[in-house]
A and B are shown apart, each in its own frame.
Chain A
Amino acid sequence: MIRTLIVMICVIALSSAALAKTGPNEKLDDPALEKRARTLYHEVRCPVCDSQSVADSDAEISGAIRAHIRTRLLEGDSDERILFDLRESYGDDITMTPPVNDATLMLWVMPFLILLIGGISAFAFIQRAGKET
């Protein structure tokens, strides 16, 4: 499955001449599918450029990934399934949203932890300042 996916994307990448950003010929007829496709383009990171989504990227590989997403959508696959397969073949850094797993737990938890600890400290400070007044 994964190997076919990679081969498929490579074939598309090689066969299509320089696809620029999301092109004018890349429109799906079904507006609902088109909307999902656009959301997915923005969620998938261009593998060869820094912090650009495939929606905004000029790279050929991005054009190939967009074409892949459209094909999969037309085949009736779910967004999650498409993203899952992309992660399987390119690694976790293919999506803009980091996955939630053991390694990224702290990434997701720390902001809340900091807010909590900071909040408790701030509360204590304000309480202390409020005494004897």
Chain B
Amino acid sequence: MVPELGHYCLILALVIAGVQIAVRHPYVRINAAYLGFTLVLASFTALAYSYAVSDFTVHNVASNSHSLKPLIYKITGTWGNHEGSMLLWALILSLFGVLLARHKDMPLFFKSTALAVQGSLSLGFLAFITFTSNPFERISLPPLDGAGLNPILQDIGLAMHPPLLYTGYVGFSAVFALAIAALIHGKMDRIWARCAKPYLLLAWTSLSAGIALGSWWAYYELGWGGWWFWDPVENASLMPWLMGTALLHSVLVLEKRETLQKWVALLAILTFSLSMLGTFLVRSGVLTSVHSFASDPLRGMVILALISVFTGGGLALYAARVHKIGTDAVRFTALSRETTMILNNLFMITACATVLIGTLYPLLMEALNLGSIAVGPPYFAATFIPLSMPALILMGAAPFIAWKRGNLDTLWPRLQPALVIALIGAGLILINSQQREITATLILFVALWLGASTLREWFLATDRLDFDRIFGLPLSHQGMTLSHLGMAVAVIGMVGSVVWVQEDIRVMRAGERADIGPYTITFKKLEKTTGENYIADTAHIDVSHFGASMPVASLTPERRYYPVAQQTTTEAAIRTSLMDDIYIAINPDEMSKDNQSWVVRTYIHPMIAFLWAGFMMIALGGVLSLMARRARDFVKGGETVIEGSNLL
């Protein structure tokens, strides 16, 4: 009964989305947005309920869930599969429809058009779900138990990853809808920027957090201590993030200076297109093999058709109407905030294009029978890193440079301290590093420069840490500082964990010890343990500083066996400190005669805590900027303020 209700609501939502487009009355569209969201939410709840109660008469639940899963993972399993995740996509899409419908400072005719665009997106994706990916399909002969119990996926980090990622992807749909409305009405000004900014910030923040969470999960769960693999699935989320970052900064320029309209409109269309492309890449199976995609192409083809319609339609409209929105009347000198923003856009878009090319090129070659190649980390290291360095350098300087017309004479003394700090830091690193890693030192120099200049700017903006100014500084400014600082901190973590990683693999027995880098590890004992749905070999390994006898940590890496899934997983144990992570995983020693010896794999990742802290700061900066709007709207009673924010 419940699945049928869910299915019914889904079809009804599809109809309502049609109404939202067809009826040109603004209030009908607003109410359709509310109703559509309610229906999709009901549908989603019905599916989640079927998962929670393990209703194996539903095909989707039977193939992706299992009665022995903990309840929380039963529920999060709702979006752990194709159909459910697409329903989550549609749910978030209609949620942004509601947010648009509730938006106060937006002219009604404009809102009406944006809602029609949002409705057409809903129509497309709901039709996709209804006709190719129905999650409510029943089985006439239900199995005794479900088939889905992949233990690697039973993890809270991974469970929260899709909702965050999708809020990011789909949040860009609202900006897309607003850009299309702007093209239709031939108007894109600073009020438009103020309307678009909250959606953009929300999407960007969620996407940042989602990517970070996915990366963190890979680090602690996959069992070999890496955190980014330039895997197409990861690239699929990085591309909209890069373009969204460029868009965010361009919208800030638009808000402040009412220029870059054409560029903003183009980026808004392309960012959402990349979000859809990301969904296509992950959901169509095209990544596994172009040929396996070609053998069961229906779903992929429909998503591809949706991308073509929305991207193609958007770009066609753009070509026809772009002259209506751009003025190009605004003047600024070569040394100005505008210039830094434009240049940073250039680097970010080129970096994004590089990731796109690297991701799609092998697929293209395979499709055209030009042979198969792999585009792996070396390609991205050779292209992406050089492109992001100038962007990071500019990022450090930009907040000091005034709008319209910067002043070189006052700029130089403001930049100097950060430059000196970065130079000293880089010098110390070079002296202390054994291998004289030039590239790593250069990147760290850039990161130190960015961090120091960001702090310096904050120091000056708060009147040299004046107490009242620290709390009086607009939240948007605080958000920028935190995000930029987070980027610097994250880059330090990236370099440290990649360049100075130490890896050790050895066979150990209970009682043995080994010296690894700055640590000594002692394999105390191994015991059999049991968990909720698994049995495990748990090693007890003490970690102490080299030469010291007192252990600083006692780690318990596990080798787990899930009998129902018949799957074995490696649970690494990690000891995190500010300086480094010590990461230990164990595997049975195949050569062992008595089963008493274990392969102990130890990684020391210097400064990787910086990476996670940096990611967190980047996302929190976005949260602060979002709160800034709310706080100001509250203070001003929601009235339209034209002077723009102080985010920059």
Please determine whether chains A and B interact with each other in the same assembly: yes
A24 CB to nearest B CB, Å: 5
Contacts of B288 in A (CB 8 A): 50
B367 CB to nearest A CB, Å: 12
Q: Does B333 contact A (CB under 8 A)?
A: yes
B402 CB to nearest A CB, Å: 14
Q: Are A115 and B346 in contact (CB under 8 A)?
A: yes
Partner of A110, one of B339, B353, B405, B599: B353
Complex: A107 Cα to B370 Cα, angstroms:
13
Please, what's the 1-or-0 string for B410-433, where 1 marks a CB less than 8 Å from any CB in chain A?
Answer: 000000000000000000000000
Q: Chain B residue with minimal CB distance to A53?
A: B376
Q: Does B4 contact A (CB under 8 A)?
A: no
Contacts of A76 in B (CB 8 A): none
Partner of A107, one of B334, B343, B375, B587: B375
Please, what's the 1-or-0 string for A10-52, where 1 marks a CB less than 8 Å from any CB in chain B?
Answer: 0000000111111111000000000000000001010000111
Q: Chain B residue with minimal CB distance to A111?
A: B354
Contacts of B358 in A (CB 8 A): 107
Contacts of A97 in B (CB 8 A): 376, 378-379
Q: Are A111 and B342 in contact (CB under 8 A)?
A: no
Q: Are A110 and B357 in contact (CB under 8 A)?
A: yes
Complex: A103 Cα to B587 Cα, angstroms:
42
Partner of A122, one of B342, B365, B505: B342
Q: Are A21 and B601 in contact (CB under 8 A)?
A: yes
Contacts of A92 in B (CB 8 A): 371-374
Contacts of A6 in B (CB 8 A): none
Complex: A93 Cα to B633 Cα, angstroms:
55
A77 CB to nearest B CB, Å: 21
Q: Chain B residue with minimal CB distance to A57?
A: B224
- How many chain A residues sit at the interface, stated as a range, is 35 or more
Please, what's the 1-or-0 string for B205-230, where 1 marks a CB less than 8 Å from any CB in chain A?
Answer: 00000000000000000001010011
Q: Does B38 contact A (CB under 8 A)?
A: no
Complex: A91 Cα to B591 Cα, angstroms:
33
Q: Does B614 contact A (CB under 8 A)?
A: no
Contacts of A129 in B (CB 8 A): 259, 328, 330-332, 338
Contacts of A1 in B (CB 8 A): none
B217-254: which have CB < 8 Å to A? 224, 226, 229-232
Please, what's the 1-or-0 string for A91-114, where 1 marks a CB less than 8 Å from any CB in chain B?
Answer: 111111111000110110011001
Q: Are A21 and B224 in contact (CB under 8 A)?
A: yes
Partner of A130, one of B231, B331, B371: B331
**Given A24-B506, A111-B357: A133 and B365 interface contact (C-beta under 8 Å):** no
- How many chain B residues sit at the interface, stated as a range, is 35 or more
Contacts of A20 in B (CB 8 A): 587, 590, 599
Contacts of B343 in A (CB 8 A): 122
Partner of B333, one of A21, A103, A110, A130: A130
**Given A24-B505, A130-B332, A133-B405: A125 and B342 interface contact (C-beta under 8 Å):** yes
Q: Are A23 and B357 in contact (CB under 8 A)?
A: no
B377-405: which have CB < 8 Å to A? 377-379, 383, 387, 405
A38 CB to nearest B CB, Å: 8
**Given A17-B590, A20-B590, A130-B333: A45 and B505 interface contact (C-beta under 8 Å):** no
Q: Are B353 and A103 in contact (CB under 8 A)?
A: no
Complex: A77 Cα to B304 Cα, angstroms:
47
Q: Does B554 contact A (CB under 8 A)?
A: no
**Given A96-B376, A96-B378, A122-B343: A91 and B371 interface contact (C-beta under 8 Å):** yes
Q: Does B91 contact A (CB under 8 A)?
A: no
**Given A91-B371, A93-B374, A107-B358: A119 and B346 interface contact (C-beta under 8 Å):** yes
A114 CB to nearest B CB, Å: 5
Complex: A118 Cα to B348 Cα, angstroms:
11
Q: Chain B residue with minimal CB distance to A43?
A: B378
Q: Are A51 and B506 in contact (CB under 8 A)?
A: no
Chain A positions near chain B (C-beta within 8 angstroms): 17-25, 43, 45, 50-53, 56, 91-99, 103-104, 106-107, 110-111, 114-115, 118-119, 122, 125-133
The 4 closest A-B pairs by CB, nearest first: A96-B376, A97-B378, A93-B374, A111-B354
24 intermolecular pairs with C-beta atoms under 8 Å apart = A20-B599, A21-B224, A21-B587, A24-B507, A45-B374, A50-B288, A51-B229, A91-B371, A92-B371, A92-B374, A93-B374, A96-B379, A106-B361, A107-B357, A111-B383, A114-B354, A115-B350, A122-B342, A122-B343, A125-B342, A126-B342, A129-B331, A129-B338, A133-B331
